[in-house]
Amino acid sequence: MSDLPLHGRVAIVTGAGGGLGRCHARYLASKGANVVVNDLGRDAAAGVAAEIAAAGGRTSAIAGSVTDEDAVATLVAETMDRWGRIDILVNNAGILRDKSFAKMSIADFRLVLDVHLMGAAICSKAVWEVMRAQNHGRIVMTTSSSGLYGNFGQANYGAAKMALVGLMQTLAIEGEKYGIRVNCLAPTASTQMTQGVLADESLAALDPVLVSPGLLALVGDDAPSRAILCAGAGHFARANVTLTEGRYIGGDANAGELLIARWDEVSDRTGETIPTYGFMQAEREVASAERQRSLA
């Protein structure tokens, strides 16, 4: 029995023909996973698969766009034919079309969302029933600080990346009873996509191979679910979507003015929580209103 932590697991990595995806594929293979290298370019995918095989890993290359449902169905079918299961999906494929919002075309906005968000949704949907049937699955969405916190010139990219957090949150809830755990990785890495975005000295420190170890924590047998892991330059941190305790303001005619006056109280992060599901906000709001009525 191998002591490699991912021995026997089958992983699909999209956008793995170069950059961060290539590092992900090689890293997962080094930890014992059988890795399916997916990329839009057939030659790029085959090249990375050859590197993995030369290092003693088990791999295959399957080309196709993540936005093409038929191509993704073929990706899943061929993976099942060869390996018999799919344990890990790393939704890594992506593109950039950076411009200020004033200069950005709706076509470029839609294209970025299509690749990042719809591509991840299509791939996740394609493996979902396989993972449910085997009662085991690990899905990683690739989010970004651009989505979590914003970056100039990346309205399309930021919107897509934050949308992936929302997708992760719900899929993690729905997949829990089937042993499917869904997480987000927010990488900072020097790749073709970041050339010209970061300073040269920063790019030198942000070798993409330093991001990929974060995957092990997100796809292993003891992986969490609904985690947002930020990784870059060998540094790892957690990001969370939190909710402050807030204050009851009421619904009087001057509620808006009262909210402005008490804005600092509403924004106070003391005692903030990480909701386990979205409806908790409504539950807490109703409870606050009921408490106020009981005091009247």
Whether residues 143 and 278 fall in one domain: no
Average pLDDT over residues 27-38: 98
pLDDT score for 10: 98
Q: Is 13 exposed, middle or buried, given 0-12, 13-18 or 19+ CB atoms closer than 10 A?
A: buried
**How far is residue 212's CA from residue 214's CA, in Å, rounded to a whole number?**
5
Q: Please, which pLDDT band fits residue 229 given cuts at 50, 70 and 90?
A: very high
- What's the whole-number average pLDDT of the chain? 95
Instruction: Examine the pLDDT at 12 and tell me if it is beyond 90.
Output: yes
- Any idea which residues carry the catalytic annotation? 157
pLDDT score for 11: 99
Q: 164 with 114: CB under 8 angstroms?
A: no
In a domain, 160, yes or no: yes
Instruction: Examine the pLDDT at 194 and tell me if it is beyond 70.
Output: no
Residue 229 falls in which region: left (phi positive, over 0), alpha (psi -120 to 50) or beta: beta
Average pLDDT over residues 285-295: 90
Whether residues 64 and 189 fall in one domain: yes
**How far is residue 41's CA from residue 54's CA, in Å, rounded to a whole number?**
20
Beta-carbon contacts of residue 219 (< 8 Å; ≥ 6 apart): 6, 9, 11, 28, 87, 88, 90, 138, 140
In a domain, 279, yes or no: yes
Question: ∠246-152-109 over CA atoms, to 5°?
Answer: 95
Whether residues 33 and 164 fall in one domain: yes
Whether residues 188 and 285 fall in one domain: no
Average pLDDT over residues 106-124: 98
Residue-number span of the structural domain to which 267 is assigned: 255-295
pTM value is 0.94
Whether residues 261 and 232 fall in one domain: no
Q: 59 with 6: CB under 8 angstroms?
A: no
* Number of separate domains in the chain: 2
Amino acid (1-letter code) at residue 233: A
In a domain, 46, yes or no: yes
Q: Please, which pLDDT band fits residue 198 given cuts at 50, 70 and 90?
A: low
Q: 136 with 220: CB under 8 angstroms?
A: no
In a domain, 224, yes or no: yes
**How far is residue 122's CA from residue 64's CA, in Å, rounded to a whole number?**
12
Whether residues 161 and 270 fall in one domain: no
Q: What are residue 201's phi and psi, to 5 degrees?
A: -65, -35
Q: Please, which pLDDT band fits residue 203 given cuts at 50, 70 and 90?
A: confident
Element (H, E) at 111: helix 106-113
Whether residues 275 and 217 fall in one domain: no
**How far is residue 62's CA from residue 49's CA, in Å, rounded to a whole number?**
9
Query: Which position has the higher pLDDT, 229 or 194?
Result: 229
pLDDT score for 231: 97
Whether residues 208 and 268 fall in one domain: no
Per-residue burial over 264-282, b = 16 or more CB atoms within 10 Å of its CB, e = otherwise: eeeeeeeeeeeeeeeeeee
**How far is residue 169's CA from residue 290's CA, in Å, rounded to a whole number?**
29
Average pLDDT over residues 142-155: 97
Q: Please, which pLDDT band fits residue 190 given cuts at 50, 70 and 90?
A: confident
pLDDT score for 293: 86
pLDDT score for 202: 72
Q: What percent of the chain has pLDDT over 90?
A: 92
